[in-house]
Structure 1
Amino acid sequence: MLRHCLLAVFFSLTIAHAAETKTRVALAGDSTVTDKAGWGAAFGKLLVPTAECLNFAGGGQSSKSFRDSGNWKKVIDSKPAFVLIQFGHNDMPGKGPQRETDPATTYSENLGHFIDEARAIGAQPILVTSLARRTFDNGKIRGELKPWAEAATKVAAEKKVPLVDLFTLSVELHNKLGLVESDTFNPPGKDGKHTDHTHLNAHGAEVIAKIIADELRKVAPDLAKLLK
């Protein structure tokens, strides 16, 4: 009986130690990064067993409100090895003063602060430009998030951090697929119809997560080691 108890304790400690020693990859972003409406969960599945994905993204979050709501502090407190940062959708005009930012000033400043603070705890920050909305004008993606994507690209260059240009890659993808095929990425909207051109269903999440993983293999070799 004593032997069985000791074995049980040993295995419990082993499992706990394994969980503690996993390399943490944190996600900071808006709803397009969440597990239910974005690419977060699909990306987590691409990590090796020795890594874990901690998703702090939230619906309606902007680069401003993510800090103000305390979500960024949760990212830092989780002590991740890597932090993927993607905002833009709720930084746009019309989202209210609690969320809106200007690409050339406040948005860039917010991203810069995220980078500096991640580095201060020994984490590797990685910027991800905004996922493009699948809204077409004359057969092409409208691309209204371009100013925020360009701002993130500039910050990444200035701060010398890896960049996944998801905006450009998703625009190229959906321009190639066209309207009908792009709609297969849509989750059901509030009306029950597949008219949500911003968020992702399971299929869309898998495609986008793979694109991100492929880019990380190019720009972030240390994180690439954690991908299957």
Structure 2
Amino acid sequence: MKSLLITAALLVAPLAATPALAQTPHEVSLAPIRVILVGDSTMTNKSGYGGELCKDFTAQVTCINAARGGRSSKSYRVEGLWDQIMTQLADKKAPDGKTFAKTYVLIQFGHNDGSPKPERHTNIETEFPVNMRNYARDVEKAGATPVLITPITQRKFIDGQLQPDLVPWANATRTVAKTEHVTLLDLNAESMKAVQAMGLTEANTLAGQPIPQNVLDTEDSGTSVPAIFTDASQGQGKTQGFDYTHMGPKGQPYFARMVADLWIKADPSIAAYVKPDAR
């Protein structure tokens, strides 16, 4: 009888342990969280990585892309867009009626802050850092968590070298994140490293528009050139800039994954909220 009981126990024990061993982090119930994206066109659904980033999150994440094209750290607030974010932060209820365990606001500006247009332009020393600091502080006062993102690189090359056009704004964002003790995603540094490594030809494929023939013909030079459109719908023979900033079907998910990876590295707790195939 004793031997039979021992045998039965040995048979039952592995069966009882199996379900626990088979569980993955994504099978465990996660508290609902909210992610709000605030920035310019490089973060929008249409021409940036924001829409794809939202797709990379699990069902427990309510992702709101509030980025707007053409906005700077000044105009986003002046136009009242930031007021809308603050109103959203006051409502902590998830769509299912539960309360968000946490809300994160990812903030990225810089591309339009150097614009000559007065409604966008900010002084890199006296205005831009103050604006970024105020965004972070406002979010914290509202009981949410700010995450500052350095501006994604443009993809312009000269003699094979990627141009560091946005480094001043990236440096200012880094300083604010450090002094305010908030999470920083250094997308500028990471995207510059990646785009430089892939080179001009591959970088051009990340754009959101067809590559004009004259751009294709000069890719071996290692220098980015303005586009010459021959299609009548584009203005036949008209020279204008090829879009070395925004992203298309290939670039959007590529940079979205980069942002997700940077966030997980900066805050490992976010990993459970990112789909495994997006890592």
Is TM more than 0.5 here? Answer: yes
Tell whether 2:272 aligns with 1:225: yes
For residues 158-187 of structure 1, what are the alpha-carbon distances to aligned partners after superposition, in whole Å with 9 as ceiling and x for unaligned? Answer: 001111111111111111000000001011
Change in 2 beyond 3 A, CA 1:88/1:61: same
1:110 is matched with which residue: 131, 146, 151?
131
Give the number of aligned pairs. 207
**1:41 maps onto 2:51 in alignment:** yes
Other structure's SS at 2:250 match: helix
Conserved? CA contact 1:31–1:58, under 8 Å = yes
Whether the aligned pair in 2 keeps the contact of 1:56 and 1:74 (CA below 8 Å) is no
Equivalent residue runs for 1:119-138 within 5 Å: 119-138=140-159
Q: Which residue of 2 aligns with 1:83?
A: 105
Of 181, 200, 210, which residue of structure 2 is paired with 1:160? 181
Structure 1's unaligned 5+ residue stretches are 1-20
Query: Separation in 2 of the partners of 1:103 and 1:82?
Result: 26
Whether 2:222 is the aligned partner of 1:200: answer: no
Counterpart amino acid of residue 175 in structure 1:
Q
Do 1:186 and 1:204's aligned partners in 2 also have CA atoms closer than 8 Å?
Answer: yes
Decide whether aligned partners of structure 1 residues 122 and 223 sit closer, same or farther in structure 2, where only a CA change above 3 A counts.
farther
Distance 1:154 1:110, change over 3 A: same
2:258 match: 211
Contact 1:64 1:99 in 2 (8 A): yes
Q: Distance in 1 between matches of 2:246 and 2:169?
A: 18
Shift of the alpha carbon at 1:97? 1.3
Structure 2, unaligned stretches of length 5 or more?
1-30, 93-102, 211-226, 235-239
Q: TM-score, normalised by structure 2?
A: 0.71
- AA aligned to 1:135 is K
Deviation above 6 Å: which 4+ runs of structure 1?
A: none
- 2:195 and 2:159 mapped to 1: Cα distance? 13
| 1: CA distance, partners of 2:57 / 2:88 | 18
Per-residue deviation, residues 60-116 of structure 1 (Å, max 9, x unmatched): 00000000111111222222700000000100142x111111222200000000000
Q: Distance in 1 between matches of 2:150 and 2:54?
A: 18
Q: Give the C-alpha shift of residue 222 in structure 1.
A: 3.8
CA RMSD in angstroms, aligned pairs only:
1.9
CA contact (8 A) 1:83 1:123 kept: yes
Report what 1:187 is aligned to.
Answer: 208
Structure with more of its chain in helix, by fraction: 1
Q: CA deviation at 1:130?
A: 0.4
For 2:257, give the aligned amino acid: K
Q: Distance in 2 between matches of 1:107 and 1:33?
A: 18
1:185 aligned counterpart, secondary structure: coil
Give CA-to-partner distance per residue, 1:141-171, whole Å, 9 cap, x none: 1111110000000000000111111111111
What are the Cα deviations for residues 201-225 of structure 1, in whole angstroms up to 9, with x where unaligned?
Answer: 0210111011111111111234333
